[in-house]
Amino acid sequence: MGFLCALLASTSASLAALPQQTTNGILPGASAWYLSTQDGSGELFVFEIGTGEPVVVLHGGPGGDLTYMLPVARGLESEFRFVFYDQRGSLRSRVPPSSVSMANHVADLETLRNALGVERIHLLSHSAGTLLACAYLEEYADRVGNVVLAGALPHKNGGKYFDAEYAALWSSIPADAERFRNREALKEELRKAGSVSATKTPKQKSELATIRQCGDEAFHVERWREWLPIRVSPEAAEATRKSTNFEYDYGELLAGHSFPVTVINGELDFTVGPRGSPLWRKLAESAPNVHLVVIPEASHAVWFDAPAEFQSALRKALSK
C-alpha cells in the first residue's frame, strides 16, 4: 500500500492539494483492504480516502486499475468518502481470467456495496467504466444514488442504433482525432525527450511511452511528468470486452433514474465521440435529471487537464 500513499502525497502540482502522509506512510482517514468475490474466485483490492457518503469509483480500460484515478478525490476528501477498487482481473485484484466478465463485474460492485454497509452508493465512472456503471444501474437502480460519468462513452452504441444522425456525428472523428494525436505540442515534448535520437536509454524509452500515453489521453501534454501511467491487463480487458453487449441504448435508463446523472467530458475527448459530446447534449436537453458539463481545453482525463473545473463540477454533481 505504500506506493499508493506515495502517489497520493506526491508533491507534483496535480496532487499538491491532497493531504500529506503521516510518518507511518498512511494518509489520514485512508484505508486499504481486500474483499472476497461473491463467487470465491479471488479478492478485490479496495482503497478508501475521505469521509461522508461513499462514492464508488469505477476505473476504465477495461482491465485498467484504480491508480490513475486517485486524483479525482483531490480537495473533496472532507466531503465525500471515495472508494476505489481494482476491478477483477486488474492489477491487485487477482482472479482466474476465466472468471472475468461484465456480469461478474456487476456482481462484484454489489458485493462491495454490501460490504460498505450502505443502502445506496454514488457512482463515479470513467471511460469503459461508464458501461459498468450503466450495467449496474440496469440491475440495481434502487441501490444507486447520484451517477457521474467522466470521459463518458456515448449512451448508445451499435448497428441497431447507428442511424443517419449518429453516423453524421461520427464522420468527423477520424480527422479530428488524427490532428489531436499529431498536434505540435505533443511533437515538441517527444522531441525534447529524445524521440529523434538513434540511441535511447531505458529511462528515455519509458518517458517517451508516458508522453505518448499522456498525449492520447490529455490535452495538456506539457505536464506529462505529473501523469500517472495507466497499465492495462490484456487478459482482463479481452474477457470483459467479450462479455459486454456493445449494442445498447442506455438513454431511457439514465433519464428514468431517480437521482441526478452528470456527464463531465472534455471538449476534445475524441476517445468517446465527436467534439463537445453532442449525443449527451441531446439527451440532457430532453431528460431533466441528466446534466452535461463540457470543459474546454480538456480531453479524456478531464481532471488532469482541468483540475479546478473538474472538482467544481464533481462537487456539484455529488451534492444534488
| Cell numbers that stand for 317 in this block | 454533481
pLDDT at residue 22 is higher than 50: no
Q: What is the pLDDT of residues 78-95, one digit of tens each?
A: 999 999 999 999 999 999
Q: Of 21-25, 145-149, 258-262, which range is least confident? A: 21-25
Can you tell me the mean pLDDT for 3-13? Answer: 35
Distance CA(51)–CA(61), nearest Å, equals 27
pLDDT given for residue 190 in this prediction: 94
Residue 35 has pLDDT above 50, yes or no: yes
pLDDT of residue 28: 64
Asked if the model's pLDDT at residue 7 lies above 90, the reply is no
Residue 262 pLDDT > 90: yes
Residue 74 has pLDDT above 60, yes or no: yes
Q: What is the mean pLDDT of residues 279-308?
A: 97
Section 243-255 average pLDDT: 96
Look at residue 178 and tell me whether its pLDDT is greater than 80: yes
pLDDT higher than threshold 50 for residue 18: no
User: Please, which pLDDT band fits residue 299 given cuts at 50, 70 and 90?
Assistant: very high
Is pLDDT above 50 for 20?
no
User: What number does CATH give the domain 2-173+232-319?
Assistant: 3.40.50.1820
The residue type found at 43 is E
Please tell me the pTM assigned to this model: 0.90
The pLDDT, as a whole number, for residue 14 is 37
State yes or no: pLDDT of 15 exceeds 50. no
Backbone angles phi, psi at 197, to 5 degrees: -75, 145
pLDDT of the residue at 169: 86
Which is higher by pLDDT, 225 or 166? 225
Q: What pLDDT is stored for residue 17 in this prediction?
A: 38
For cell 486499504, the residue is 32
Q: What is the mean pLDDT of residues 176-188?
A: 95
Per-residue pLDDT, averaged over 46-55, amounts to 94
- Round the average pLDDT of the chain to a whole number and report it: 90
Please tell me the predicted confidence (pLDDT) of residue 1.
36
pLDDT range class, residue 230, cuts 50, 70, 90: confident
* 62: preceding bond cis by omega (within 30 degrees): yes
The residues, ordered by sequence, that sit 6+ positions from 103 with a Cβ below 8 Å of its Cβ are 243
Percent of the chain with pLDDT over 90: 79
Cell of 49: 480516502
Cα(first)–Cα(last) distance of the chain, in Å?
33
Q: Which of 258, 262, 257 is nearest to 314 (CA)?
A: 262
Calculate mean pLDDT across residues 134-153.
98
- Please state the domain extents for the chain: 2-173+232-319
Tell me which amino acid residue 301 is: A
CA distances from 4 to 46, 76, 89, 218, 263 (A): 11, 18, 19, 22, 27
Name the packing angle between helices 102-116 and 129-139 (round to 10°): 70
Q: Give the per-residue pLDDT at 9.
A: 36
Going along the chain, which residue ranges are E strands? 31-36, 43-50, 53-58, 80-85, 121-126, 144-150, 156-157, 248-249, 261-266, 290-295
